[in-house]
Structure 1
Amino acid sequence: MLDIKIKEFKELDIQELYKVLQLRSEIFVVEQDCVYQDIDGKDDRALHVIGLNDNEVVAYTRIFKSGIYFDMASIGRVAVHKQHRKFGYGKVIMEASIKAVEERFSENEIKISAQKYLTKFYTDLGFNATGEEYLEDGIPHIAMIKK
C-alpha cells in the first residue's frame, strides 16, 4: 500500500528531502544513464507528492500551478523505485498528483513532458499527446495534455 503525502518545499524535513533527491537521482541519473541537472532551482515552487511504503519513499512527483513550469499546471519528475513498479504505484502516485492539481490549484488542464515509451501509461490516465516528439537530455519525449 502507498501512503501519499503532499508537501510544500518548506514543509519537507531534511530526511524527506534527502530521500526524494536520492530516489530522483537513482532513477533519472543512474538507472537512465543520463547526466543532467536534476536540482534545477524549481523545487521550492513545487508541491511534492511523496509515496511512502513502510516509511520509505518509493514514489514521487512534483507538481506546479500554471505559469511556473508551463503555461498550464504540470506534473514532473515522476519516479517509482524499480523494485516497487510491479505494484502499480506509478498509477497511484499520478492519480494522487492529478487530484492534488485539481484540489490545490483549482486547475483541470495539466501538461507533462512524457518519456515517449510511457505514452500508453499516460494516455490511460487521460493525457493526450500533442506536437512532435523531441529529445530531452538525450531521451525521446512528447508533450501530453490532460483536459
Structure 2
Amino acid sequence: MDWKLKKFEELKIKDIYKILEIRNEVFIVEQQCAYQDCDGKDENAHHLYLEDNDKIIAYLRILNKGVSYNEMSIGRVLVHKDYRGKGISKEMMLKAIKFIELNLNEKEIKIQAQAYLVDFYGSLGFKETSKEYLEDNIPHIDMLYKK
C-alpha cells in the first residue's frame, strides 16, 4: 500500500477518475446522499490518498484557508468499507494534520464532521464548535483543531 499526497495539478486523469469513483461510491451510493461532489474546490486542494493494487482505499482533501472556511480544512474523509477498522483513517488524519502544521505552517484546521464521528475527531484534538445540524440530511458538527 502506498500513500500519495498531490496538488490537483499533479494528479493524472486516471488519479482524478479514481478519486471521484471512491468518493461517489462512499458518499453518494453507500450513504445514499445525493449531493454535488464536484464543487469546484478540488483544484485548490491537496489530495491525500492510499492505494492498494492500483485502487484508492482511503482519501481526504486538504483545503487552503479561504476556500471553505477562514481556517485550513480537511474534508471528503473516507476509507473503503473493506478496509475500515484497521486504523487507516487515524493514520491518514495524522498525516494530514502533520502536513498542514509542518509544510503549510498552519495551526488551525476546521472540519465539518459527521456527528457519529465526533469522538474519533476529538481523539485527534478537534473540539466541537457548533451544535448538531443537518447537511445533506446527515447530522454534522463543526469542529476545530488548534495546535
Name the TM-score class by shorter chain.
over 0.9
Aligned residues: 146
CA displacement, residues 96-124 of structure 1 (integer Å, 9 cap, x when unaligned): 11112112321011000000000011011
Give the Cα separation in 2 of the matches to 1:18 and 1:141. 27
Alignment of 1:47-86 (within 5 A): 47-86=46-85
Q: Which runs of 5+ in 1 are unaligned?
A: none
Give the Cα separation in 2 of the matches to 1:27 and 1:11. 24
Give the Cα separation in 2 of the matches to 1:52 and 1:102. 24
In structure 2, the residue matched to 1:102 is 101
Q: Secondary structure at the match of 1:7?
A: strand
CA displacement, residues 8-58 of structure 1 (integer Å, 9 cap, x when unaligned): 111101111111111100010000000000010110001101112233210
> How big is the shift at 1:92?
1.2
Q: TM-score when scaled to structure 1?
A: 0.95
Q: Secondary structure at the match of 1:69?
A: coil
Contact 2:58-2:78 at 8 Å conserved across structures: yes
Letter in 2 for 1:31: E
> How big is the shift at 1:88?
1.2
Q: Which runs of 5+ in 2 are unaligned?
A: none
Give the Cα separation in 1 of the matches to 2:95 and 2:48. 8
Alignment of 1:1-147 (within 5 A): 2-147=1-146
Q: TM-score when scaled to structure 2?
A: 0.95
> How big is the shift at 1:130?
1.0
Give the Cα separation in 2 of the matches to 1:50 and 1:125. 19
Give the Cα separation in 1 of the matches to 2:85 and 2:53. 16
> How big is the shift at 1:93?
1.1
Aligned residues: percent identity? Answer: 49
